[in-house]
Structure 1
Amino acid sequence: MSDTTHDGALATSTPPSPDAGLSAGELAAKYGLSVSGARPGLGQYIRELWGRRHFILAFSSAKLVAQYSQAKLGQIWQVATPLLNALVYYLIFGLILDAGRGMEKGVYIPFLVMGIFVFTFTQSSVMAGVRAISGNLGLVRALHFPRASLPISFSLQQLQQLLYSMIVVFAVAIAFGNYPSASWLLVVPVLFLQFVFNTGLAMVMARMGAKTPDLAQLMPFIMRTWMYASGVMFSITVMLEDKPQWIADVLQWNPAAIYMDLVRFALIDDYGSSNLPPHVWAFAVGWAVLIGLGGFVYFWKAEERYGRG
């Protein structure tokens, strides 16, 4: 005889769940579940980035086109802006302050132009990196993709802009008597190493900027200080010849100065190896590997936190 409830309904007993007693972790393992938004392993993350390579290229190109879309001169400003900066710095540092002493006019002007264009490459990558996450929260929160795609695409955008600008750099070099030679090919590995360095630094700043958006307001002052300390407008060895040698060494070994001086060495005939610090190529590669790989890992470690809060 079956048991009945007080209202006559047939009472049935519910069989125990086969998952009873399992912890959340054990349940997830049993059914192949994972935490939503969890950070993937480093190898998987790299594969996901490679799978988004077309998005990264398209996004960087679109940003480059849109950058000056509201200006009447359009993409001309990509070249005009650093050229105008070079003109201003030449008037102030070259003519008034005589920062180019020790160099002929035909050397100093290419020296200055190359320094400004190359440093602007790093400066723009860093500034874009600071806002890579905080300035694209709508995209970050709406779509699932490796967040490193953003700082990489911004650095790639700045590389494309620099490549357009190099036409002007080459023209300035030729105008002052520096004609194409085998040494000009050195520009290719130098800019590649600088791109790797810039991308790593942009990733570091992207993570920091995602947590502290006010960093974007502070960065122009930091970048300006870095520019003055990197010998953009003057020769570090000449300006610091009466100072302790270690000061000039520290300034020459900073990555911005290294990449600028290598480009100058490649393109300016009278800018010889005596103007370069010892082991300059080792430092150029070392900075690229250290900041490029270190910045990538540093950014990846906070992958699951971007766009939250």
Structure 2
Amino acid sequence: MSQVLHTPPPTQVPAGDDLAALAARHGLTVSGARPSLPEYVRQLWARRHFITAFATAKLTAQYSQAKLGQVWQVMTPLLNAAVYYFIFGVLLGTKHNVPDYVPFLVTGVFIWTFTQSSIMAGTRAIAGNLGLVRALHFPRAALPISFALQQLQQLLFSMAALVVILLCFGVPVAASWLLALPALVLQFVFNAGVSMIMARMGAKTPDIAQLMPFVLRTWMYVSGVMWSIDKLTKKDHLPHVVTVLLETNPAAVYIDLMRYALIDSFHAHQLPPHVWATAVGWALLAGVGGFIYFWKAEETYGRG
């Protein structure tokens, strides 16, 4: 007597379009799907407390293993300024052409360090925090923004030392110091925007983080941190396009604005034409453009 085994017919797997229709019919959505831009902004604003707390925690932990602790927040840019003073001010004689050279130099170093550190931290914002990105659901833009905020907090600590240096070198307190506030706000928006651009690029190609120190060092040398762009551009040997590029360089623009606000010997005629409009333009271009550029790749962060 033989026994016939009846094998059930194979289950039909719905096609891709059928699966999408089935998911939509039951109210299912793609996990980690990119929200609309207004919704993304709303989600980011809802997590503003996380952004500030994350930035503060990273700042506190940054020098936790060093014996001097948070003192290095001020010592690092000061030591850099001392090295630049010896090389450019003493050996190359730059200080003879610039009034109040020490305040001029220290202000440039502090403001440049803010931009440099924000961009470097932003480049590693996604690639260096994959565990957090993959474990929790939150707008990924919170990471590069929080790193830029961390560097702003560090700059504010350094500004206390900068004020002491200004006073020690005879720079008087003036009402123009209040201009430092809008200048810092514009620079923060610019830094955060560039950080988001670099965060997306660094998430896709982590090797960019190894290249950025060389790019940033070159950028620093053409941004007038150690020398006066105004003195150089007044010479006739420079092509006009080079003069325009030097004067509209965003890093140089924010450095010049801070020098104009804090140093009484740095006058308005040393600023590039329409400097405030240029500063606002760079902040909007980098801030809004960088935010949209980062948002467009929201679904890809932490994948693969």
Asked if Structure 1 and Structure 2 have the same fold, meaning a TM-score greater than 0.5 normalized by the shorter chain, the answer is yes
Q: Over aligned residues, Cα RMSD in angstroms?
A: 1.8
Alignment of 1:17-32 (within 5 A): 23-32=18-27
Equivalent residue for 2:303, pick from 296, 299, 308: 308
2:245 maps to 1:269: no
Mapping for residues 72-151 of structure 1, pairs under 5 Å: 72-104=67-99, 107-151=100-144
- SS of residue in 1 equivalent to 2:97: coil
Q: In the TM superposition, what is the alpha-carbon distance from 1:30 to its structure 2 partner? A: 2.2
How far off is 1:25 after superposition?
Answer: 3.0
Report the Cα offset of residue 50 of structure 1.
1.1
Show CA shifts across 1:17-59 (max 9, x none): xx9xx83333233222111111111111111111111111111
Give the letter aligned to residue 54 of structure 1.
Answer: H
Give yes or no for contact 2:230–2:271 (8 Å, CA) kept in 1: no
2:31 alignment counterpart:
36
Q: 2:229 & 2:180 partners in 1: Cα distance?
A: 21
* Corresponding residue number in structure 1 for 2:155: 162
Counterpart of 2:185 in structure 1 is 192
Measure the CA separation in 2 of the matches of 1:216 and 1:295: 18
Does the Cα contact within 8 Å between 2:103 and 2:169 map onto a contact in 1?
Answer: yes
Q: 1:222 aligns with which of 187, 194, 215?
A: 215
| Alpha-carbon distance in structure 2 between the residues aligned to 1:231 and 1:156 | 24
- 2-structure distance, mates of 1:290, 1:78: 30
Partner amino acid for 2:260? F
Which amino acid letter does the alignment assign opposite residue 191 of structure 2? N
Alignment of 1:290-309 (within 5 A): 290-309=285-304
The match for 1:61 among 56, 71, 75 is: 56
Distance 1:290 1:103 in 2: 32
Greater than 6 Å deviation, 4+ residue runs: none
Indicate conservation of the 8 Å contact 1:237/1:248, yes or no: no
Partners of 2:68 and 2:110 in 1: how far apart? Answer: 19
2:34 alignment partner, SS class: coil
1:239 aligns with 2:232: yes
Kindly provide the CA deviation profile for residues 157-198 of structure 1, in whole angstroms up to 9, marking residues without a partner as x: 000000111111111111222211110000000000000000
The alignment's TM-score, normalised by the length of structure 2, stands at 0.92
Q: Give the match's secondary structure for 1:189.
A: helix
Q: Distance in 2 between matches of 1:279 and 1:239?
A: 19
1:130 is matched by which residue type in structure 2? T
Query: Which of 40, 44, 52 is the aligned partner of 2:47?
Result: 52
1:101, 1:229 → 2: CA distance?
20
Larger radius of gyration: 1
Q: Give the Å deviation of 1:282.
A: 0.3
Say if 2:125 and 2:144, in contact at 8 Å, map to a contact too.
Answer: yes
Unaligned runs of 5+ in 2: 5-13
TM-score (norm 1): 0.91
**Pairwise CA distance, 1:237:** 2.6
> Shift of the alpha carbon at 1:236?
1.3
Structure 1 segment 169-208 matched on structure 2, within 5 A = 169-208=162-201
